Structure 1
Amino acid sequence: MLTKEIFSSLLKTATSAGGDYGDIFLENMTPLVIQMEDDKIEKISTGIERGIGIRVVYDNKSAYAYTNDLIKDTLIETAYSLSRAVKTNSVHATFNLEKIRPKTDFIIKQMPNNTPIADKIKLIREANKTARALDRRIRQVSVTYSDFVQSVTIANSDGVLVDDERVQSLFAVSVIAEDSGVIQTGYESLGGFTGFELFDETPNENPVEALALKAAKRAILMLGARRIKGGRMPVVISSEAGGTMIHEAIGHGLEADLAGQGLSVYSNKLGAQVASPAVTVIDDSTLQGKRGSYRVDDEGTEAQKNCLVENGILTAYMYDKLNAIKDGVKSSGNGRRESYRSRPIPRMTNTFLAPGKADPGEVLRATHDGLFVRKMGGGQVNTVTGDFVFDVQEGYLIKDGQITEPVKGATLCGNGPEVLKSIDMIGSDIGFAIGTCGKDSQGVPVSDALPTLRIPDIVVGGEV
């Protein structure tokens, strides 16, 4: 066990040659992954990942070192080697570490590492059986269960010493259906900052069976769907669709490293109108049970609710310590890293477009014709220009304000600021989706969400 005195000694050694800021990230993680393919358990992977990362920020850049050897002499040598990489005249003030208790807390009812692996395999088999039983055209079902308990201790030269325990559980079902050479897929997942209580059954529903059935039904539905004819049209995006659009179209562009380097269409836009007055965008790592939540970020800054866009006006970027020092502001608590091997960078947590006042059904009824998106797929965005392309996993034509036939092959193509400025109806509902966000070769758990909303005119890709 590393004491407060050892953390203090490591920080003093690491910053002995100067520096504006220093921190230490100690991690102990026990991950578990179970995968089923072709009716067989193909993989059970578990273990212990333990190590420490030490960083010094100086002259708007950073030096970083890590090791999984936690012997005191090795740690001191690592910190000393790091200090030799620091070339600066700045010297951080004397500091004293004080243990803090985060204001944000989460309740875990059933720790996943206390649940037998046999119980987790049982869930996988139930989901696999349910998906395969739906239709003879189901050709392949893949089911993945994963969890981890990550215990961290973070110390920094602001005098903070804090512990956190992050608990994540995840369940995902992927289904492939085929008929006469036509292949379609369905995918669903659930998870978050939660224990095995994620899988508690309600009186009317087994959550993993419901998830498998939903994925399988989507794959079968899309087999019979015709390809959409491309063109410009109104689009209604359901709250069921997940917040992929908000995550990609604006979220990444509001991360302070990209914005600060001029690699975002939202660079130097604080105080400017970047969206419709109806649009408010929030990033909130304090939400109970959500996949992107935590008590403190990976630099020891407390979790926060950050309003990024308020009534269409850009009000804030998402900051880690390094970029906050560059801009002379405080960190927003968005400094995140994949593990002790990675230096922290600005990342989203739980990012969403806030609900409006319209009845969700009215958003649809007010749209004479167009495309209704029930489920978004993957997407990509050029953060410099704001141009994006998103796949539609499940979509339907709208006729006379009603959902009609399913269509496939649809993509949404547009420009983030232009689309956000054009949104003219926002529903009072909201729906979250989960994922693992990749950036700079690091993946971190996130969630995103949208209410039901209408884009009155956007390019929908499809058949010409």
Structure 2
Amino acid sequence: MIKKSVAENIIYAALETGGDFAEIFIEDKRNSTIGMIGGVVERALAGRDYGVGIRILKGEYSVYAFTSDDSESNLLKVAREAAQAIRSNPIDLTLNLQNKVVQNKHNILVQPTAFSKGQKVEWLRRAHEAASSFDPVIVQTTMTLIDTVKDICIVNSEGLFVEDRRAYNRMGINVIAESGNDREAAGFGPGSFGGLEYMEQLDIEGVAREAARSAKTILFADHAPSGNFPVVIDNEFGGVIFHEACGHGLESHAVARKASVFADKLGEYVASPLVTAYDDGTIPNAWGSSNIDDEGMETQKNLLIENGILKGYLIDKLGSRKMNMAPTGSGRRESYKYAPTSRMNNTFIAPGKSTPEEIIANTELGVFAKYMEGGSVNPITSDYNFSVSEGYMIRNGKLAEPIKGAAIIGKGIDTLKKIDMVGNNLGLGIGMCGASSGTVPVTVGQPMIRVSELTIGGRGGNA
């Protein structure tokens, strides 16, 4: 994607004013999006985004610039202009760029171009027909299919020269159920870090019917009660609570600034002894995986919490300098327009020994959160609130009536300590995470867990 001689000239220019590290990030991304509403194709878009980012470090200070003009003259100009923010003695540097060979752990068997638009539209139509025919209360469907292929190249002043290809595909399935003046929505977005072989294998009708079933259930559900209850959170998408209320607090850009409740707590109990958690960027074809992070380091499986004890943080190169700790392959960015920072990949609580049936049976009165929606969290304090999109009351150790409108309110570090049962059914759900380096694909996950007590906000009065 760039000649080594050109890359060397750019790095030398970036370090002319005294920077001690320079990096070039090149990205060539091709996107395709097809959208369908009510069984009718509303849009079919394709595009390409290409550009170069240049980063310069001096100690703990960072400068970043980007451009879509990759001519050598312009890149030299951008590098020198960015370097003006640093005034120090130039370092003595002799570059010897070496191609880094990275093992590909994530096969791309079927390229997006292998399927015509007509074939992709047929996948969307199948989802629409399965959802709309599920029940007369389903009044609207919205389906999307997105596929992306991204080629990147990373070069830096430490001699790194590495290239990688990344492919993503995802189907969005959203439905609306209506009865009288009441309307409720539900949806799922299955996808993969890999080729379109995933879509060939996906049970499209099954996912669409599950979205319709969930919307119908929510439509006729009672409003959730309010009060303090044991809360059982299902696997897969329930992991969003750990991601938001804990994971962000373990990223070095927060920890290094002491803007995290988990700062300076390595080796301390921060969770129940039942809790072990990882962030793993190496899971084959998982949504948040990659061969290398966006600083060129190979991704790895990072142990965060072991039997309740905090074992590690997620650290990028700049965070490594600030914390005097080794990077963990966690530097990520949305595109060449963003400087990288520490981010999660595939973050999950490891499975325990209890079965889901045992967890429910051991809960006399409580709330079961089957599917979670969005929420908010303060990483400094770990205070959070999340919405339960589909939930149920638990009565006498059995699932009872469905509920809606439940808000779970708590503090992340307290919630982790109140986990008193961990299931054996680990599930992973995919999503997008936004932060200072843009929006990146992430996986959230956990087995079913029970929290001994959480505050539930609802309009249904007493349980």
Amino acid aligned to 1:126: R
The Cα offsets for residues 276-307 of structure 1, whole Å up to 9 and x where unpaired, read as 11111111110111111000011111111111
Query: What is the rounded CA distance, in whole Å, between the counterparts of 2:404 and 2:106 in structure 1?
Result: 40
Q: Which residue of 2 aligns with 1:269?
A: 265
Moved more, 381-390 or 67-76: 67-76
Instruction: Trace 1:49-448 onto structure 2 (pairs within 5 A).
Output: 49-89=49-89, 91=91, 93-201=93-201, 207-440=203-436, 442-448=438-444
The Cα offsets for residues 157-198 of structure 1, whole Å up to 9 and x where unpaired, read as 221111110110001111111111111111111012021111
The Cα offsets for residues 6-58 of structure 1, whole Å up to 9 and x where unpaired, read as 21221121112222321110111101111112332112121111111111011
Instruction: Note if contact 2:334-2:437 (Cα within 8 Å) is conserved in structure 1.
Output: no
Amino acid aligned to 2:37: E
Instruction: Note if contact 2:341-2:437 (Cα within 8 Å) is conserved in structure 1.
Output: no
Query: What is the rounded CA distance, in whole Å, between the counterparts of 2:309 and 2:244 in structure 1?
Result: 18
SS at match of 2:293: coil
Change (3 A) 1:62 1:441: closer
Give percent identity, aligned residues only.
Answer: 38
Shift of 1:92: 6.7
- Note the aligned Cα RMSD (angstroms): 1.5
Amino acid aligned to 1:146: I
Shift of 1:240: 4.2
Amino acid aligned to 1:138: I
Query: What is the rounded CA distance, in whole Å, between the counterparts of 2:90 and 2:415 in structure 1?
Result: 45
Amino acid aligned to 1:424: D
Query: What is the rounded CA distance, in whole Å, between the counterparts of 1:114 and 1:339 in structure 2?
Result: 25
SS at match of 1:257: helix
Change (3 A) 1:310 1:185: same
Shift of 1:386: 0.8
Q: Which residue of 2 aligns with 1:37?
A: 37
Instruction: Note if contact 1:18-1:92 (Cα within 8 Å) is conserved in structure 2.
Output: no
Q: TM-score scaled by structure 1?
A: 0.96
Change (3 A) 1:137 1:441: farther
SS at match of 1:85: coil
Query: What is the rounded CA distance, in whole Å, between the counterparts of 2:327 and 2:5 in structure 1?
Result: 26
Query: What is the rounded CA distance, in whole Å, between the counterparts of 1:228 and 1:326 in structure 2?
Result: 45
Query: What is the rounded CA distance, in whole Å, between the counterparts of 1:314 and 1:267 in structure 2?
Result: 10
Shift of 1:418: 0.6
Change (3 A) 1:240 1:352: closer
Amino acid aligned to 1:118: G
Query: What is the rounded CA distance, in whole Å, between the counterparts of 1:115 and 1:18 in structure 2?
Result: 50
Query: What is the rounded CA distance, in whole Å, between the counterparts of 2:323 and 2:92 in structure 1?
Result: 18
Query: What is the rounded CA distance, in whole Å, between the counterparts of 1:138 and 1:407 in structure 2?
Result: 19
Amino acid aligned to 1:24: I
SS at match of 1:47: strand
Instruction: Note if contact 1:274-1:313 (Cα within 8 Å) is conserved in structure 2.
Output: yes
Instruction: Note if contact 1:237-1:454 (Cα within 8 Å) is conserved in structure 2.
Output: yes
Amino acid aligned to 1:111: Q
Instruction: Note if contact 1:104-1:303 (Cα within 8 Å) is conserved in structure 2.
Output: no
Change (3 A) 1:431 1:92: farther
Q: Which residue of 2 aligns with 1:449?
A: 445
Shift of 1:257: 0.6
Structure 2: which 5+ residue stretches go unaligned?
Answer: none
Shift of 1:244: 0.6
Query: What is the rounded CA distance, in whole Å, between the counterparts of 2:19 and 2:144 in structure 1?
Result: 44
SS at match of 1:303: coil
Instruction: Note if contact 2:15-2:90 (Cα within 8 Å) is conserved in structure 1.
Output: no
Amino acid aligned to 1:448: V
Change (3 A) 1:146 1:23: same
SS at match of 1:200: helix
Instruction: Note if contact 1:371-1:396 (Cα within 8 Å) is conserved in structure 2.
Output: yes
Amino acid aligned to 2:207: L
Moved more, 35-44 or 387-396: 35-44
Shift of 1:148: 0.3
Instruction: Note if contact 1:189-1:211 (Cα within 8 Å) is conserved in structure 2.
Output: no
Instruction: Note if contact 2:16-2:90 (Cα within 8 Å) is conserved in structure 1.
Output: no
Structure 1: which 5+ residue stretches go unaligned?
Answer: none
Amino acid aligned to 1:182: D
Aligned length: 460
SS at match of 2:359: helix
SS at match of 2:84: helix
Q: Which residue of 2 aligns with 1:2?
A: 2
Query: What is the rounded CA distance, in whole Å, between the counterparts of 1:232 and 1:89 in structure 2?
Result: 61
Amino acid aligned to 2:44: I
SS at match of 2:267: coil
Shift of 1:90: 6.7
Change (3 A) 1:299 1:92: farther
Shift of 1:89: 4.0
The Cα offsets for residues 105-137 of structure 1, whole Å up to 9 and x where unpaired, read as 211111123221211111111111211111222
Query: What is the rounded CA distance, in whole Å, between the counterparts of 2:129 and 2:82 in structure 1?
Result: 53
Query: What is the rounded CA distance, in whole Å, between the counterparts of 2:87 and 2:356 in structure 1?
Result: 57
